[in-house]
Structure 1
Amino acid sequence: MNRFVIMTVGKTHSGKSTFADKLEEQMENAVVIDQDRHAEFIKTYYRKLLAKEGPNTIKYAVSKAIVDHAVGHTDCHLIICNSNRNKGGREELLDYFKSNGFKSILVHFDLPDEILEERIAVSTRSKVIFRSAATFEEVLARQNKETGIGKVIAPDEGEADRLFVIRDEAEVVNVIGKIVGMVEGGAI
C-alpha cells in the first residue's frame, strides 16, 4: 500500500485547516497533524514550559513526536496542516517522508491578501496559539514581509510528487476530489 503525505502551504486564514479537515473526512485512514492544535494544547496545559523568546521548541518537539509515531507505528496517510512557508523546512519534511516510503502532495493556498484580510476581520479563531503576535493582522503583516526573503518562497513543481495551487475557494472541492482519487488509486 502506498502511503501519502499531503502538506498544506499558505498564509494565515488561507483555508489550510478547513481544507485539511474536509480532506480527512473524505480519505480512508488519514489523520490531520496541525501545529496550531499542538500550540493551543501546550499553551493551555504547559504554559510554564514555553520559552520566553526564540523558537517554540516544545511545539516542534510535540509535532515531531506525533509525526514520528504516525509514520512508525500506524499505516495512516498524513495531512500536515501548518503554514510550511519555509522552503528549507518543507524540503526537510518531504525528504523525511520520502525516506519512509511516502508519496507527497503539496497544496499551496495562494489567495489574494484582500480575501485573507476579510477573513481575519470576521475570524473567531482562538488567539491562544500566539507567542510573538497579538492579532492575526500582525501575523499576516509578518508573513507578507517574509515573502520572497531568504527561504520563504512558494513551492514549485519539483518539490513534491504533485503540487496543487488553490487561488480561489471554489477550487477546494475539486482538489480534494483529485487527491482522494490519487490516494484511492495508490498513484500520483
Structure 2
Amino acid sequence: MNKKYVFMCVGYTHTGKTTFAKKLVKKYPNMIQLDSDEVAVFTKEKYPLLVESSYNKNRPDFRSLKMVIFKDVYNFCLNAGFNIILSNCNLAKNFRSFVSYKARKQGYKLVTIYFNLPEEVILRRLKETRKSDKVFIQSKKWSEVFERQKKYAQLPPSKRNTIYFEIKGSTDDEIVINELSRLL
C-alpha cells in the first residue's frame, strides 16, 4: 500500500506557498492542491450576501463560510485517498492541529513545510505584488493582511509528529521538492 501524505505549507502571505504548491502539483499531477484563498473567491462570487453578513464576519475562528467549505473539501480529499498540499497560511496552531488530527485519523503522514522568509523580503514582495485582491473579506490591502497575520500567527510550527522542512529563501524550493520526491 502506498503511503499517503498531507503537505501543509505554513507561513505568512507572500512567502511562496502557492508557487511552491503549484510546482509540486506539476511534478506530481495526482496530488490535490487546496487553498483557502480560492475558496474565499468562490464564496464571494457565489454567496456575496452570506460572506458580507455580520453572521459570517463575526463567526469564531475557523467557522466562517470559507473555512466550513474548506474543511469539508479537505475531508472529502482525505476520504478519496489523494495526496494533498495545503497552500494556505496555516498560521494558527488550532487549525494545524485540526489538519494533523484528520490526516492521522485517515492514515496519512503529515509533512510540514515552514516558509520562514525574512520580513524585508515579504515587505518587498507585498510592494511588488500583482496578486488579486478578490480574496479579501476583512482587509483592503495585502499589507493589512500581513499585519493582521503577524498578530495572530503562532510560529514556528511544531516539529512533533510531522516530517519537517524549512524554506528560508527561493533557492530552497527545489531542494525541498527533491527531498519530497523521496517520499513520493
Q: TM-score, normalised by structure 2?
A: 0.91
How far 1:40 sits from its partner (Å)?
A: 0.6
1:59 to 2:61 alignment: no
The match for 1:8 is: 9
Q: Deviations over 1:78-117 (max 9, x none)?
A: 0011111111210121011001000110000000111111
Distance 1:2 1:47 in 2: 40
Deviations 1:33-80 (A, max 9, x none): 1110000111122111113322461111211221122111x2310001
Aligned Cα RMSD in Å? 1.4
Are the aligned partners of 1:91 and 1:159 in contact in 2 as well (CA < 8 Å)? no
Aligned to 1:121: 127
Structure 2 CA distance for aligned equivalents of residues 63 and 133 of structure 1: 20
1:154 equivalent in alignment to 2:156:
yes
Q: One-letter code of the match for 1:143?
A: Q
**CA displacement at 1:144 relative to structure 2:** 2.1
CA contact (8 A) 1:27 1:180 kept: no
Query: Over residues 104-162 of structure 1, what are the superposed CA-to-partner deviations in whole Å (9 max), with x where a residue is unaligned?
Result: 10000000111111111111111111111111111111222334xxxx221132142x0
Distance 2:23 2:95 in 1: 25
Match of 2:75 among 62, 68, 76: 68
- Runs of 4+ aligned structure 1 residues displaced above 6 Å come to none
Once residues 31 and 164 of structure 2 are traced to their aligned partners in structure 1, the CA distance between those partners, rounded to angstroms, is: 19
TM-score, reference length from structure 1: 0.89
Aligned residue type for 1:90: R
Q: For the residues of structure 2 that align with 1:143 and 1:28, how far apart are their CA atoms?
A: 31
Tell me which residue corresponds to 1:32.
33
Gaps of 5+ in 1: 184-188
CA contact (8 A) 1:26 1:180 kept: no
Counterpart contact for 2:104–2:110, Cα < 8 Å: yes
AA aligned to 1:44 is E
Aligned to 2:150: 144
Partners of 2:87 and 2:181 lie apart in 1 by 17
Distance in 1, matches of 2:135 and 2:71, equals: 18
Give the count of matched residue pairs. Answer: 177
Question: Where in structure 2 are there 5+ consecutive unaligned residues?
Answer: none
